[in-house]
């Protein structure tokens, strides 16, 4: 892919990290109730999840079950609560540094490789009957969840995009959705727009994203997309 003539200045760098997508749904649901003054769901979540309660206490939160006593913003609380760690307490590394760098800032538009992919992915030109094929619509749905599930259009506010030190969470997938997206991208249920501006751009993004998805799948984890500014 030749991108030498398209080096737009961008401010965001995107990262995909290992994340518990199923837990994230519960955390967001509880945090949204807290926004309306109801702490009961958050209290029940923390008291029913020993690992989560211990993780937050290790971070210095003496009474994590009481949202009002936790001075963290919603983005930080979501991120810390759902980050996946190995048995040694270390973050999983999803792909090597070169792959993460190339995925993280794409030389077009707003710098998001996934937004580029969403703009120029298309259904295949031939609609071949392939058993258990994951079609383009399902792939796009998963990409939209990954890029927008925590955005204002979905939740009605930008709390998850305005965390401490610029923490900006865009969306996430659980481990089952990671498998489905990886399988879909590896199949023949999608094509590329004839109007794609960068020769090979979509397939380059798919290659790097697939490497990250395979690493998540090997470790049995979901993923989260976040931006850095």
Joined together, the tokens standing for residue 129 give 């009957």
* Phi, psi angle pair for 16, to nearest 5°: -110, 125
115's CB contacts (< 8 A; 6+ apart) are: 109, 147
29's CB contacts (< 8 A; 6+ apart) are: 41
Separation CA 86–CA 134 (nearest Å) = 30
On whether the CB atoms of residues 15 and 223 are closer than 8 A, the answer is no
The predicted pLDDT at position 130 comes to 57
The predicted pLDDT at position 121 comes to 98
Separation CA 92–CA 83 (nearest Å) = 9
The predicted pLDDT at position 133 comes to 76
The predicted pLDDT at position 4 comes to 35
The predicted pLDDT at position 131 comes to 53
DSSP letter string over 156-194? SS-GGGS-GGG-EEEEEE-HHHHHHHHHHHHTTS-EE-T
The predicted pLDDT at position 127 comes to 63
Q: Which of 219, 207, 199 is closest to 94 using CA atoms? A: 219
The predicted pLDDT at position 87 comes to 86
Total-model pTM: 0.92
The predicted pLDDT at position 95 comes to 85
Q: Which of 185, 189, 216 is closest to 203 using CA atoms? A: 185
The predicted pLDDT at position 61 comes to 96
On whether the CB atoms of residues 150 and 79 are closer than 8 A, the answer is no
On whether the CB atoms of residues 83 and 19 are closer than 8 A, the answer is yes
Joined together, the tokens standing for residue 216 give 């998540």
What are the sequence ranges of the domains in the chain? 13-19+95-228, 21-82
Q: Which of 92, 118, 117, 77 is closest to 203 using CA atoms? A: 117
Residues of the chain with pLDDT under 50: 1-10
* Phi, psi angle pair for 201, to nearest 5°: -65, -50
25's CB contacts (< 8 A; 6+ apart) are: none
Strands 121-122 vs 191-192: parallel, antiparallel or unpaired: antiparallel
């Amino acid at each position: 892919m030749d991108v030498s003539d398209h080096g737009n200045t961008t401010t965001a760098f995107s990262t995909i990290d290992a994340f518990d997508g199923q837990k994230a749904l519960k955390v967001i649901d509880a945090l949204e109730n807290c926004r309306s003054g109801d702490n009961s769901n958050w209290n029940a979540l923390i008291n029913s999840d020993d690992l989560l309660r211990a993780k937050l206490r290790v971070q210095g939160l003496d009474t994590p079950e009481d949202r009002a006593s936790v001075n963290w913003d919603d983005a930080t609380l979501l991120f810390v609560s759902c980050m996946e760690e190995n048995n040694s307490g270390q973050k999983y590394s999803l792909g090597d540094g070169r792959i993460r760098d190339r995925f993280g800032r794409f030389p077009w538009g707003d710098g998001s490789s996934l937004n580029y992919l969403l703009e120029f992915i298309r259904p295949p030109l031939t609609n071949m009957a392939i058993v258990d094929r994951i079609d383009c619509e399902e792939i796009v749905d998963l990409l939209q969840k990954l890029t927008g599930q925590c955005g204002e259009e979905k939740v009605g506010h930008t709390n998850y995009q305005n965390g401490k030190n610029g923490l900006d969470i865009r969306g996430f997938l659980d481990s089952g959705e990671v498998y489905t997206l990886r399988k879909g991208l590896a199949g023949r249920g999608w094509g590329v727009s004839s109007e794609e501006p960068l020769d090979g751009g979509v397939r380059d993004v798919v290659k790097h994203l697939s490497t990250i998805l395979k690493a998540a799948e090997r470790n049995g984890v979901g993923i989260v997309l976040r931006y850095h500014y």
